[in-house]
Amino acid sequence: MSGVEGYIYPNEVTLYWSVLIVLYPFITGLVAGAFILASLERVFSVEAVKPTYRLALLTALAFLLVAPLPLVLHLGHPFRSPEMYFTPHDTSAMAMFGYVYMWYLMAVLVFEIWLDYRREIVLLSQTSKGLLRLIYQVMTLGSSNISAGALHIDDKVGWIVTLVGIPSAFLLHGYVGFIFGSLKANPWWSSPLMPVIFIFSAMVSGIAAVMLLYMSTTKLRGQKIDMRCVDTVAMYMFYIFIIDFSMEMLDLVHRVYEADESFRSLNFLVHTKLYFSQIVVQICLGTIVPLVLLFLTQVVKLKEMARKRIYILSGSLALVGVLAMRWNVVIGGQLFSKSFLGYTSYKMALVTREGLLVAVGLTILPLLFLWALVKLLPPWPDKSLHEAATGD
């Protein structure tokens, strides 16, 4: 049989979870990570990262809007997916997806963004024209009170929402890790560390994404990058990266030392089919290199330009590394037989519903959503609005 080595159960030849299921934890991870970065300023009063606060929230929303798409596209019967809301199976981790997703989208992210932008939305509903005016009027939800007292209440409620949002972000992504980690049939996935590793890698990828977006959008707007902000963001990324790497290594060392019945099979897999994506891309290029680079910025006094280049490189590599990690978990976990006697292969199609083109499209789509959100709700201070508010 083509693509099969050794003996696998005959129903294991086909891989059922494709590249779209690789994208799903990657995208939700970016959401959770971006939100955690936003919470640094709001809840933990890390003032230095304030320039990224709103951009982080909008990034989280843009990616969250796309998050269910890979899941729904992967289903054999996508139109039956609402059944997960109407008749969820109470013992299924996956059944909770709809509720966790809706909670995070509506009760946390949209609510917080609305509270934070309410003043601008009201002002824009008064100064805009045509269709935009109508959109902003709808977005005010009928509340046009932007007195100091009302904005103070917004701020207090927003703080509480962010506070609730932190465990919610952990829940959103920890739960994704649990979907894999709780499957005892698959030794590659079955690990109580899986949700923890997912959360920390999510934070790394989300922070890296917002850092890169902040640097690129600031450059595109012809503004000066706030180095105090970027240095602080990179510092948090470095520390969280260390925790993430430690967890992943702990998992690896535990597997190697314990060497249970699956070890020989998994070890072979890592040294053959997953060698490039796991050892080369995930561990070396995607983890060790950015960690060393970020470590340098912490211990050596580097010039601003050097630091910028390091942040761009390490952020990009971290994103590639986390994507590779998702690939190795999802695809890697299906390449070996549960008989531990053989292996199959994954052949990614190009233009099918679960093919490469759709995957690329789903990766670009959040950036288009982000562009639209940034146009609608600019995350940077708007002088004309300030003038409108003060009546100058």
Partner 1 sequence: MNISRRHLMILLPAAAVAWKHVLAGTPEDSPNYQMSEHWWGMLIDIPKCIGCGNCVRACQTENDVPDGFFRTWVERYHRTDWHLENPEVISPDGGKEGFPVVKAGEEGMFFFVPKMCNHCADSPCTQVCPVGATFISPDGVVLIDQKYCLGCAYCVQACPYGCRYVHPTKKVADKCTLCYHRITKGLTTACCEACPTGARQLADLKNPNDPIHEFLKTHTVQVLKPQMATGAKAFYNGLDGSVR
Comparison of 92 and 143: residue with beta carbon closer to partner 1 = 92
The size of the interface with partner 1 (CB under 8 A), counted in residues, is 42
CB of 363 to partner 1, least distance (A): 22
CB of 282 to partner 1, least distance (A): 21
CB of 356 to partner 1, least distance (A): 20
Q: Is 252 in the site for partner 1 (CB under 8 A)?
A: no
CB of 336 to partner 1, least distance (A): 12
Comparison of 16 and 275: residue with beta carbon closer to partner 1 = 16
Comparison of 95 and 285: residue with beta carbon closer to partner 1 = 95
What residues between 339 and 368 interact with partner 1 by CB under 8 A?
Answer: 339-341
d(CA 78, CA 94): 15
Q: Is 255 in the site for partner 1 (CB under 8 A)?
A: no
d(CA 345, CA 147): 62
CB of 10 to partner 1, least distance (A): 5
Q: Is 97 in the site for partner 1 (CB under 8 A)?
A: yes
Comparison of 185 and 299: residue with beta carbon closer to partner 1 = 185
Comparison of 185 and 350: residue with beta carbon closer to partner 1 = 185
User: Which long-range contacts link 128-135 to residues 24+ away (Cβ below 8 Å)?
Assistant: 135/376
Q: Is 227 in the site for partner 1 (CB under 8 A)?
A: no
Q: Is 11 in the site for partner 1 (CB under 8 A)?
A: yes
Rg of the chain's alpha carbons, rounded to an integer? 22
Q: Is 228 in the site for partner 1 (CB under 8 A)?
A: no
Query: Which pair of tokens denotes residue 386?
Result: 């300030």
Among 4, 95, 146, 313, binds partner 1 (CB under 8 A): 95
- Are the beta carbons of 140 and 118 closer than 8 angstroms? yes
Q: Which stretch binds partner 1 (CB under 8 A): 67-75, 156-164, 227-235, 360-368?
A: 67-75
Among 43, 151, 164, 183, binds partner 1 (CB under 8 A): 183
Q: Is 76 in the site for partner 1 (CB under 8 A)?
A: yes
CB of 173 to partner 1, least distance (A): 18
Q: Is 147 in the site for partner 1 (CB under 8 A)?
A: no
Q: Which stretch binds partner 1 (CB under 8 A): 100-108, 118-126, 165-173, 183-191?
A: 183-191
Query: Which pair of tokens denotes residue 79?
Result: 């139109």
Where does this chain bind partner 1 (CB under 8 A)? 7-14, 16-17, 71, 74-77, 80-81, 83-84, 87-89, 91-95, 97, 179, 183-186, 261, 264, 333-334, 337-341
